[in-house]
Chains A and B, each alone.
Chain A
């Protein structure tokens, strides 16, 4: 069984952490993954850096620019990850923009992910209709879960269509924003969390955007299965390098 699905069956709230591969230093990737697993994180999103990350706010943009400057490429990331399954068993998701995947070749990319032991992909600019028409069979053939996003503006009808096309979980963007733009939640989010919880979707939801500490993690997971921290962790890496990852995770829960 896919490691993501297995993890989601556990009776606990899921903590997922995002980081950009190649940041702060080119060869930090494996150590960050190992330390996150040791710290008790449930799921890891490895960011494939892109020159034009248009859904990201300044923090993740800057980490992408730095990672590319450090020399990160798709091929190099796969090289760094080739033995990762010898040391960790945590579910791993690759997250990035669609163009680098397209250039690598979608089929070749998915095949490589399967060889390495990647469990899922999040490609925010690969739209639902294109995925279903052109890529679903390739993803499935290589055992990859494709994760879709929903936002407070997504209509019920579209959420149902996304739920239908998903297996694993739905990435619930907490507010209309780029990553790291807003901190904390207001009444608008509570109403949105409520609305989604009442829809009784077949896939669990994991909330992302705006989660940075224990308080926001608790708020986000009051209704949802889990929460994702991205920009706050990148800031931690900027300030501390790869030291103290366990302390960062420890203060979340």
Chain B
């Protein structure tokens, strides 16, 4: 059994393309071309060149010695926080901007929640000299001012999404509406492994460079390609998809997905989609989704802006329901403490998203000789104000 998407974009019962006819030509054009374009040697060459020279890849696989001692196991950190723009997001935007160029698109749109994907998109648009419009919820614009400024400095237009709950899901709706209204010249760079087929598969493939590097780096350090466990946080799930990708069909590698429990799974303020979601359709994909009994999509909560998406990518829905993945949810408090621990033990300030993945070690025990790779998806600069407020620094 494979955990990758089939040719119709399904992961088990999840995925597909539940889109109105207005989006069909756009998605179909992408679907028919994405694998072909990605397989072109010139594409691969340009993609990897940019990942190396511009993004700074390969990112280190760092043995966290003091943290390992504390938890009595072998913890490696995959340092996606060292990527240009501060997180793994740029792996995907580099891939998609090259895709857009080959499809002859002159205009890029994107959605963003906390602003990380918006910044990564604005960055590659500046790099390529392509017009860029980023949709961002009005509420997020107010609470993520530094990233709004970054996008503007990079030449992007930031459009406030004023509909619905005025956050990430509404920004995504607005970006989709823009795409409906501009079907010919515009490419939509989705930031996670969500949305209609082929997006979840395409984004996972661009992010798969993470696990590809882990394999060769681990071979060098441990004499084996496969860790015992790979751990990553999941909002929509793009960093997790990249970290899991080359281990999905290797059953001896344990896959651990960490969701945001917010103030507690049953507090009413949570983003733990696997625990709280039911099968439904969001942004063109059939997946697990937080919703009312009437099928209205609800607003999730997490202290981490990158994890408060009401759905989860269809790959992760499949990993959860099939039992292939172990899903753990971590509260705001647990994540914040784990983030501070990493600062104190290893001298690394992590993004609050990544702190969720780091927080599992308190309760989830591993064997002394287990090799556990944690994907450190982003750095904490953007979260400084949150850390200051939380710890009264």
Q: What residues on A are CB-neighbors of B281 within 8 Å?
A: 97-99, 102, 125
Closest to A68 in B: B296
Q: Do residues A51 and B296 form an inter-chain contact, with CB atoms below 8 A?
A: yes
Of A97, A103, A124, A148, the most chain B CB neighbours within 10 A belong to: A103
Known contacts: A52-B297, A65-B163, A68-B296. The answer to whether A154 contacts B24 by CB under 8 A is yes
- Residues of the A chain whose Cβ atoms lie less than 8 Å from the Cβ of B278: 103
Q: Is A247 in the interface zone, CB < 8 Å from B?
A: no
What are 17 A-B pairs at a CB distance below 8 A?
A54-B180, A55-B20, A55-B180, A65-B163, A101-B295, A102-B295, A103-B293, A126-B18, A127-B19, A130-B16, A149-B20, A151-B21, A153-B22, A153-B24, A153-B184, A177-B22, A178-B180
Among B24, B183, B296, chain A packs the most CB atoms within 10 A around the CB of B296
How many residues does chain B have at the interface if contact means C-beta atoms less than 8 Å apart? Answer: 36
Q: Which residues of chain B are within 8 angstroms of A124 by Cβ–Cβ distance?
A: 20-21
Q: Which A49-104 residues have C-beta < 8 A from chain B?
A: 50-55, 57-58, 61-62, 65, 68, 73-75, 97-104
| Beta-carbon contact of A54 and B173 below 8 Å | yes
Kindly state whether residue A173 has any CB partner on chain B within 8 Å: yes
Instruction: Assess whether B169 is interfacial by the CB under 8 Å rule.
Output: yes
B 158-194 to A, binary, CB cutoff 8 A, 1 in contact else 0: 0000011000011001001100111110000000000
Instruction: Tell whether B104 is near chain A: CB-to-CB under 8 Å.
Output: no
Chain B CB count within 10 A is highest, among A51, A55, A150, for A51
Chain A residues close to B by CB (< 8 Å): 50-55, 57-58, 61-62, 65, 68, 73-75, 97-104, 124-127, 130, 148-151, 153-155, 158, 173, 176-178, 181
Asked if A55 contacts B295 (CB within 8 A), the reply is no
Contact A181 B181 (CB under 8 A): yes
Taking beta carbons and an 8 Å cutoff, which residues of B are in contact with A?
16-22, 24-25, 163-164, 169-170, 173, 176-177, 180-184, 278-284, 289, 291, 293-298
Closest residue of A by beta carbon distance from B177: A178
Bound complex: CA A57 to CA B174 (Å): 9
CA of A176 to CA of B18, assembled, Å: 18
Residue of B nearest to A129 (CB): B8
Roughly how many angstroms separate A178 CA and B281 CA in the complex, as a whole number? Answer: 19
Cα A97 to Cα B22 with chains together (Å): 14
B21 touches A149 (CB 8 A): yes
B22 touching A149, Cβ below 8 Å? yes
A94 to B: closest C-beta gap in Å? 14
B19 engages A125 (CB within 8 Å): yes
Closest CB-CB distance, B159 to chain A, in whole Å? 13
Partner of B283, one of A54, A55, A57, A148: A54
> When A74-B295, A181-B181 are in contact, do A54 and B16 touch as well, CB less than 8 Å?
no
Known contacts A130-B18, A151-B21; A54/B177 CB under 8 A: yes
Residue in A54, A68, A153, A181 whose Cβ sees the most chain B Cβ within 10 Å: A54
Q: Report if A153-B25 is in contact (Cβ < 8 Å); known contacts: A58-B163, A126-B18, A130-B16.
A: yes
- In the assembly, what is the distance between CA of A75 and CA of B292, in Å? 13
Q: A100 near B181 (CB under 8 angstroms)? A: no
- B326–chain A nearest beta-carbon distance, Å: 28
